[in-house]
Amino acid sequence: MQMTLRWYGSKYDTVTLKQIRQIPGVTGVISTLYGTAPGEVWETKDILALKKEIEDAGLQLAGIESVNIHDAIKVGTPDRDRYIDNYITTLERLGQADIHMVCYNFMPVFDWTRTELARVRPDGSTVLAYTQEAVDALNPEDMFASISNDANGSILPGWEPERMAHIKELFGMYRDVDDEKLFTNLKYFLERIMPVCDKYGINMAIHPDDPAWSVFGLPRIIINKANILRMMKMVDNPHNGVTFCSGSYGTNLENDLPDMIRSLKGRIHFAHVRNLKFNSSTDFEESAHLSSDGTFDMYEIMLALYDIGFDGPIRPDHGRMIWDEVAMPGYGLYDRALGAAYLNGLWEAICKSRGRSE
Ligand code: CS2
Ligand code: MN
């Protein structure tokens, strides 16, 4: 595996490439053209400039998170082909720039959903948290206001104000889209993009829905083992793969994370590894990565990745806000660096005990 950190670009991120370069064992970053809107074609010069900036700092651009999918594609409106054509052009340009992993999600309207961005834990750190009660008490428009008020001035991925300004319209578009329709539209999209993925060796890595159930009555399908295996089968091409995000699948305690990893051998192209602490089945918070701080056994998760021969990029995903850092919630430097070091330590121990060098 290759240990990486997500980096939003020098215009948007409080963390610098120099800092990332100094985290032991981190050799790459996962980035994006953060200023582009879903549906837009990415310019080659912007892709190359991003890549060069990262390489000049001594790191590798290990993949893109995300090239976001326009709602027309998810809804399946008559103009979806135009947006898929744009997506294919972007993939072509990424492939030509020697970039071979693209993370995306197929969540209607919202990306991830949390109800608190700065819940205070007993040690004084702050973390993202979710309670179903809080979601049930909110309407979606208020959700956006509460999220953006708490974001330390950053624009959160998937919560761009331009999109959220049309939130009512967006909900209207999805009125007739249920789980089956969403599956059909995902299949249509994947079948259209697979030829360009085959040509350039691009691994598509779908990110799970977070939390892994329907919120505000919107359909959500990338939530459990049965659905993800259905998706792998419905477009049975190794380039149709997944981002295994322990913190997202793990929101549903019925998901057996190591078992899911083992069932996806050869199809996990990217891994997000983080821990959650459950206070009840509908109230969880994002703990430190360490197993004993949360609910998941992180050793078993890393072992399952090892056992299936996972060799893609991995990242610590969200971290707590500690040591008075002010950054985008979940994306500060310090706790993610601790997470990377811890995951690297688990990996080293697993490799040594199993007699493989890395
Ligand atoms: C990420 C997601 O911050 C996060 O929770 O894991 O926003 C992820 O980048 C997207 O869902 C992938 O498109
Ligand atoms: Mn994730």
Reported as a single tens digit per residue, the pLDDT across 10-36 is: 999 999 999 999 999 999 999 999 999
Q: Is the CB of 111 under 6 A from ligand 1?
A: yes
Q: Is the CB of 300 under 6 A from ligand 1?
A: no
Q: Is 318 a catalytic residue?
A: yes
Percent of the chain with pLDDT over 70: 98
pLDDT digits (tens, 9 = 90+) for 266-293: 999 999 999 999 999 889 999 999 999 9
Distance 78 CA to ligand 2 centre (A): 31
Q: Is the CB of 209 under 6 A from ligand 1?
A: no
The tokens of 240 are what?
A: 């149709």
pLDDT digits (tens, 9 = 90+) for 212-262: 999 889 999 999 999 999 999 999 999 999 999 999 999 999 999 999 999
Decide which of 139 and 294 is more confident. Answer: 294
- Residue 120 scores a pLDDT above 70: yes
Single-letter amino acid code for the residue at 89? T
| DSSP H or E stretch at residue 188 | helix 179-200
Q: Is the CB of 110 under 6 A from ligand 1?
A: no
CA 12 to chain centre: 18
- With the most atoms of ligand 1 within 8 angstroms of its CB, the residue from 8, 189, 207, 274 to mutate is 207
Name the residue ranges covered by the structural domains of the chain: 2-353
Helix axes 225-234, 179-200, angle to 10 degrees: 50
Q: Is 269 a catalytic residue?
A: no
CA dihedral over 151, 60, 11, 82, signed as positive or negative: negative
Q: How many CA atoms lie within 13 A of 116 on its CB side?
A: 17
| Candidates 3.40.630.30, 3.90.730.10, 3.40.50.620, 3.20.20.150; CATH matching 2-353 | 3.20.20.150
CB contact set of 246 (below 8 Å; sequence gap of 6+): 257, 271, 272, 273, 274, 275, 296, 298, 301, 317
- Residue 358 scores a pLDDT above 70: no
Mean pLDDT, range 70-83, rounded to an integer: 97
Q: What is the Cα–Cα distance from 232 to 332, expressed in whole angstroms?
A: 33
